[in-house]
Amino acid sequence: MRTTDGLTADGVAAARLLPPGGHLATLDRLTDLAQRLLSTPQSPVAVQVSLLTDVQTVAAGTGLPAGVVGAQSPAADSLCTVAERGPLVVQDARSDARVAQLAPVTSGAVGAYLGVPLTVDGGDVVGALCAFGPAARAWTPQDVALLEELAGAVVAQLELQALTVEFEASRLRWEMATEAAEVGSFDVDLPTGRLDWDARMQTLFGYPAGSVQSDVEGGFSRIHPHDRPALDQAVGAAIQTCGAFRAEYRVLLPDGDQRWLSARGRALAGEDGGAAVRLLGAAHDVTEMHTAREQAARLVETMTTGFAAIDGQWRLTYVNRTAERIIGTTAAEVIGRELWELFPGLEDTDFGERYRHARQTGETVEFEAYYAHLGRWFEVRAVPDAGGLALYFLDVTARRDDRARAEAATARLELLSLVSAELVAAGLAVEDAVARLAELVVPGLAGWCVVSLIDDEQIRDVGSWHREASLRPVVESYVSNRLDGRVDLGAVQRAWKTGRPAVIVTRATDVVLPTLGSEAARTSLSQLAPESVVAVPMTARGQITGTLALCRGADRPPMS
């Protein structure tokens, strides 16, 4: 393929008109005509068409030696390069200083020369139409006018062949592209309803090539009836406005299968610029894409992770079934609504901050957070997508609860191990060891506690402890007075009598205060302000020997 690098504007224009192989046979009749009209018995001439790029190419000729037509030669040796955008008339080449030194003259091949430029639209000179003979000759103004007239026909013929080559190349590229993409095309004459479509389009509709009816209704009768209204609406709007349309629809095939097609086209107005008279379009098979899309949709719909799609205005465009279950509503109730409206307070939480960060930076974010409105913990993955977000979320409340229980159990085991080690190492008497227990369980299990032993069906307090040193005297005062005049020992008595832990989950101060018989005990308890209490029976050799009362304030989770 010839490049145009380094050529002048004239050379570039000439390169475009070069015929394949260098010879354009349709020009031969023009050179034949020129030779017949310019030759005389005394002065026969040869005629040639030369195109000038960086070399001279003889595109056609009559009366030339064999092998000259289609050949190339140095441009510097050509008389055609001497002409300056006008006729070059040389009556005696051997005595004309302009051309006497050129090889065709010194060889004796050219004694007289007449050349006119080949000028294309835009003014570029692409070559010359020239006549020459071995003997000197006087050229007449009529000879010059004749050659100039024929030069116009030569340029027209060169332009025609260039356009033909370009059109054919474009057609081949189009055919190759449509073949590779499996694109079919159609053309509808709107006034008559006549349909013209190519073999590929017929194949897409399941027809053997050439067997399709030529009317629109007959040809398109295999379009799925559910898809026809939307297609008719899109095409109708294009015809009404002389505009474009796009549509996807299913084609019902003879074997019972169906094929998805994606089509686009345009309605064209008539010569008067009025109503549309033609509908041109193309379509290709998108069945695999639809199948993959449907499979992906089924996967998203049935996966155990919640999924929601959000557009650029924070509106929900899709939620799967798991998401419906988690948020406690249906897709129909949330699609199209703004995220912040649906979930009050979400915008000002960690969720809102992370979502905005993902949108602004284009980065995927993963986090775990608690949403109070639903009372649940969620593991979330937010992926920026087409100006919006794709949200994947999993309810991890149960997992967190399990983890918390496991951590609590581990902490209890560690505490029991510590208590056992401390008591063994101290070598204390039983009562002293039990009293020491109070110091070992605080603050691990509670904010403060009381240890009691049971002797002869009587409860006796033997130890207490508070995590804050300033409140330990208050606990001691409470312990010293809490049994005075008291008939109902509440949770402690239930643990003792049933052998099972007794729990006051909330408002423990309000529950215990009415049971106290001592004003001093009531004052101390009010200052200690327990929110929740659990009384645990202590056993030895199968017998209940005491209780451990664990108390927490409102600053810690309730006892359970």
Q: Mean pLDDT lowest for which of 117-121, 139-143, 383-387?
A: 383-387
- Asked whether 60 and 24 are in contact (CB, 8 A), the reply is yes
Q: Mean pLDDT lowest for which of 170-174, 395-399, 465-469?
A: 170-174
Whether pLDDT at 93 is above 60: yes
What number is the average pLDDT over the span 160-183? Answer: 70
What number is the average pLDDT over the span 385-389? Answer: 85
What number is the average pLDDT over the span 442-467? Answer: 87
| The residue type at 259 | R
Task: Identify the pLDDT of residue 46.
Answer: 94
Q: Rounded distance, CA 300 to CA 313, Å?
A: 23
Q: Where are the alpha helices (DSSP H) in 59-140?
A: 103-106
Structural domains of the chain ordered from first start: 9-166 (3.30.450.40), 182-290 (3.30.450.20), 303-395 (3.30.450.20), 428-552 (3.30.450.40)
- Per cent of the chain over pLDDT 70 is 88
Whether pLDDT at 343 is above 70: yes
Instruction: Provide the mean pLDDT of the chain.
Output: 85
- Asked whether 381 and 356 are in contact (CB, 8 A), the reply is no
- How many residues can be counted in the chain? 560
Q: Rounded distance, CA 2 to CA 16, Å?
A: 10
What number is the average pLDDT over the span 524-528? Answer: 93
What residue ranges in 286-412 does DSSP mark as E strands?
A: 306-310, 316-319, 365-371, 376-385, 388-395
Q: Enter the DSSP assignment of 58.
A: E
> For tokens 């401390």, what's the residue?
422
Give pLDDT tens digits for 265-323: 999 988 777 889 999 988 988 888 877 767 766 776 777 788 888 998 999 888 888 88
pLDDT bracket for residue 469 (50, 70, 90): very high
Q: Rounded distance, CA 199 to CA 197, Å?
A: 7
Q: Rounded distance, CA 15 to CA 458, Å?
A: 120
Task: Identify the pLDDT of residue 500.
Answer: 87
What is the β-pairing status of strands 88-90 and 55-62? unpaired
What number is the average pLDDT over the span 257-267? Answer: 91
> For tokens 């100006």, what's the residue?
387
What number is the average pLDDT over the span 195-200? Answer: 84
SS (H, E, C) 62-90: ECCCCCCCCCEEEHHHCHHHCCCCCCEEE
Task: Identify the pLDDT of residue 196.
Answer: 85
Whether pLDDT at 365 is above 90: yes
What number is the average pLDDT over the span 493-502? Answer: 87
Task: Identify the pLDDT of residue 115.
Answer: 92
Q: Rounded distance, CA 403 to CA 309, Å?
A: 30
pLDDT bracket for residue 357 (50, 70, 90): very high
Task: Identify the pLDDT of residue 172.
Answer: 63
Q: Rounded distance, CA 92 to CA 114, Å?
A: 11
- Cα maximum dimension of the chain: 159
Task: Identify the pLDDT of residue 428.
Answer: 46
Tokens of 29: 């009749």
Q: Rounded distance, CA 526 to CA 510, Å?
A: 9
Task: Identify the pLDDT of residue 229.
Answer: 92
Give pLDDT tens digits for 23-73: 988 899 999 999 999 998 889 999 999 998 888 999 999 999 999 999 988
Task: Identify the pLDDT of residue 547.
Answer: 86
- Residue 216 has φ and ψ, to the nearest 5°, of -60, -50
Task: Identify the pLDDT of residue 431.
Answer: 62
Task: Identify the pLDDT of residue 528.
Answer: 93
What number is the average pLDDT over the span 114-119? Answer: 92
pLDDT bracket for residue 2 (50, 70, 90): very low
- Per cent of the chain over pLDDT 90 is 37
Q: Rounded distance, CA 267 to CA 279, Å?
A: 4
Tokens of 345: 């307070």
Q: Mean pLDDT lowest for which of 37-41, 84-88, 414-418?
A: 414-418
Q: Rounded distance, CA 227 to CA 238, Å?
A: 17
Whether pLDDT at 411 is above 80: no
pLDDT bracket for residue 454 (50, 70, 90): confident
